Amino acid sequence: MSITSPTTGKVWLVGAGPGDPDLLTLRAARLVMQARLIVHDGLVDPAILALARADARLISVAKRRSRHTMPQDEINALLVREALAGGAVVRLKGGDPFIFGRGGEEAEACRAAGVPVEVVPGISAAIGGAAAALMPLTHRRAASVVSFVAGQCKGLSEQNWAGLAGQGRTLVIYMGLATAEAITEKLIADGLSPEMPVAVIENATRPAMRVLRAPLAGLADLVTRHKVKSPAVIVIGEVTADTQTEQLRALALEATK
């Protein structure tokens, strides 16, 4: 597979995974190493960008709360413009392109402009982070349903999360640090126990990874007290309890004997 000499332009929407370069898919790693142009998010680990060829153009379109390097419509236009000029464009996105990565919007823009587009899936932040923390998002004794929601969307209070968290269910919240207090109030108002165990996974799969736990009522204080920063996901449910993690560790140890 080569993308260095395309006959027509093309965009690859590539998932960079949760952070650790070893968790890139083989296809993602090959594309990053071959690309002459990489348009990347701010959450893509520098170690992954270091895989790029020496002459590659790296364009950051990093997004932070209320502060975007480039608005989404301009990102879409950039991808289309470079591809229509005959370029092979790797759009490198943290996690998976189609899970809160706006990959769907970028794919739509490319297709509307007649630009070929291909999606290369990546390990999502939720799945990668939970695995690194030995925290199963589903478990026969704890949860048979898992839901993903965004905690930073407009109209948070109007969103209907009823039934997404509780006994037998796991709720994973992306981009929820800044709204942790509002999230707590929303879930408790929906009937969730203030004692429901919660975990915050920061810098998932990276050397600086932290897993912090608290009851739901203490989520906002946990985020503030430990100065948690993005990238981080919030996991709510019985699977986050310390006892669950210890049981898994014991089972893993037993399996090695």
Q: Which of 20, 45, 63, 186 is catalytic?
A: 63
- Between CA 230 and CA 228 the distance in angstroms is 7
Residue 10 bears catalytic tag: no
Q: Would you state the structure tokens that stand for residue 118, as one six-digit string?
A: 């291909």
Residue 45 bears catalytic tag: no
CA distances from 39 to 23, 107, 142 (A): 20, 14, 40
- Per DSSP, the three-state class of 232 is strand
Single-letter amino acid, residue 122 = G
- Between CA 45 and CA 158 the distance in angstroms is 34
Residues 6+ apart with CB under 8 A from 202: 208, 209, 210, 211, 212, 228, 229, 231, 232
- Between CA 41 and CA 59 the distance in angstroms is 9
Single-letter amino acid, residue 190 = D
Q: Would you state the structure tokens that stand for residue 53, as one six-digit string?
A: 């060829």
- φ and ψ at 171, to 5 degrees? -115, 125
Q: Which of 10, 20, 41, 45 is catalytic?
A: 41
Closest CA relative to residue 95, chosen from 30, 48, 34, 56: 48
Single-letter amino acid, residue 227 = K
147 by Cβ neighbours in 10 Å (0-12 / 13-18 / 19+) ranks as middle
Q: Are 157 and 163 in contact (CB under 8 A)?
A: no
Catalytic residues: 41, 63
